[in-house]
A and B are shown apart, each in its own frame.
Chain A
Amino acid sequence: MSELRRPSRGTWAVLAFPVGMLAVFFLVPFGIMLATSFYHRIEGGFYTPAFELDSWRRLLHGVFIERTLFSIGICLLAGAVCITLAFPFTYFLTRMRRRPHVTLLVLIMSALALSEVIVGFAWSVLLGRAAGISNILVWLGLMDEPAAYQPSFLAVLIGLCYIAFPYCVLTLYPQLTRLDPELTEAAQTMGASPWKTFWTVVVPIGRPIIVAGFLLAFVFTLGSYLIPAFLGRPEHWTLSVFISDQATFNANVPFAAAMALFLTVLSLGVVGLVTWIEGRTRG
């Protein structure tokens, strides 16, 4: 669009429906959640309006801090693993011929669309004792007895990487397709090996998108609920599991609301950081 028109009264009328929907079903629930975090909890799953700081005070307790640090730790680790593999992979992908390029993108999109339910289930089978990797190794004669590799920390990490990897590729993809091919060609004409070109040209140019992709993968894994719940023991649960567990099975909605708001602030902080990095590299 070359010239933007001035909005008329009709324009605002058109905008009223979408903005109204988002306000009523996204912003209002947020407000109610904020209010609920101050409500008084009654044993047995109910809560009444009040102004108490109990739920917020619980955020300073050992269990919550421990869960937070664990969640941040495992999600940072998953983000780091994913970006380390996804950056070179995406770079190679953007330089492939059309056919493998599109095929791999369809694979990536399909993996991204897969329900966490199915990812969690598939990995629990693959890492399980009944029909998993160990059975293949036994069948090949490399192992004596099948073993179970889940639930464990490693299983949760693998699951998180599985859901975050396609997401990482998609955040890197638009920028890496814009990487001027003449830059790498110039480096190679001047005698740099493909390796050296990758490390001295592609990686330095890509540094801001590497950081942004890493942080977005971090927020994305922070949102995972079923992976830690399926593949981990309770000590491997992340904040998302803890929050929904408090809201549904422990029936402590005010505490869950306080934790959800904390998670919102944490995620928004990281997303804000990403926007800031992107703004700086563009300007």
Chain B
Amino acid sequence: MNVVRRLLTAMVVVFLVAPLVVVAVVSINRNRYMDFPPEGFSLHWYAQLWNDVGWRDAITTSLLVAATSAALAVAIATPMAYVLCAYHIRLAPLLYSLGILPFMLPPVISALGALVFWNSVGHSGRVENIIVSHAIFFSTLPLITVSLAMEAMDPSLPEAAQTLGASPRTTFRTITLPLLVPSMISGYAAAFVLSLNEYIIAFMVSRFSVVTLPIKIVNDLRYGFTPTIAAVAVVFIAIATTTFALFARFGNLLRFLGADPAILERQR
């Protein structure tokens, strides 16, 4: 059993890490073409990410889309999670499903829906379309994090505030909202990272006129490989890993992923 456990864990780690290692190796190759074993060491391809106008524009567009769409996603999800958890609403399960649904369905469906929507209102191929579509698609993530925080909240805290004479509005502003902030931040971070990486919705909504980083990578790959693509992949991997490592360090990653609170006590 022990052997099986070690072997399986090792296999999984190798499987998940192997392609990333190969990409990292390719990205520091001095040669313009892919080689193995690599010849020489160079950070030239990383510099090009910033010096080349095409790449720099794609990076700034992607950062803009991810930052604003994640903020909008949190703005959509937080009031929804709060009301659905704090009030007795008969339609609550239905409304919650509506919030989860876009993310559950294959993204190509949201992508095509957004495409025909923006076509029919005559406003296609704009960057704000991608922002709105990403916000809707990824609002599921803050919806889950904030709902979990609502369920975990000690009900005596807002009750105490109300007993002491605070109005519901004041209670929300001074007690509930500050307690929800960590879950809003983790929801924001998850939506941000996934938006940065999203391709198919951005591609179909952009109608070839807005170029985000994943779109730029795919466009470039059509004309063949460049080490710059490997460099950008490494940057992506670094951003994702750093975000979740910080999450694990400062937030409660295990709880966010739905672990039984008891397990947090058991394993120290």
The interface of chain A, by Cβ under 8 A from chain B, is 1-7, 10-11, 14-15, 17-19, 21-22, 25-30, 32-33, 36, 85, 88-89, 92-94, 96-98, 101-102, 104-111, 113-119, 121-123, 125-126, 128, 130-132, 135-136, 139, 162, 165-166, 170, 173-174, 177-178, 181, 193-195, 198, 219, 222-223, 225-226, 230, 240, 243-244, 247-248, 253, 256-257, 260, 263-264, 267-268, 271
Contact = CB atoms under 8 A, between A and B. Distances in A.
Contact of B106 (A174, A193, A263): A263
A121 B217 contact: yes
Which 6 residue pairs are nearest across A and B when measured between Cβ atoms?
Answer: A174-B258, A223-B106, A29-B113, A122-B19, A115-B197, A194-B1
Contacts, number: 289
A274 to B, nearest CB: 10
Nearest to A92: B5
A111 B75 CA distance: 27
Tell me the dominant secondary structure on chain A's binding face.
Answer: helix
Contacts of B101: 26
A30 B113 contact: yes
Contacts of A28: 117
Interface residues of B, number: 106
Interface of B: 1-2, 4-5, 8-9, 11-13, 15-20, 22-23, 25-26, 33-38, 75-77, 79-80, 82-83, 85-89, 95, 98-99, 101-102, 104-117, 119-120, 132-133, 135-136, 139, 150-151, 153, 155, 168, 190, 193-194, 196-200, 203-204, 214, 217-218, 221, 225, 229-230, 233, 236-237, 240-241, 243-245, 247-248, 253-254, 257-260, 262-263, 266-268
A109 B229 CA distance: 22
A184 to B, nearest CB: 11
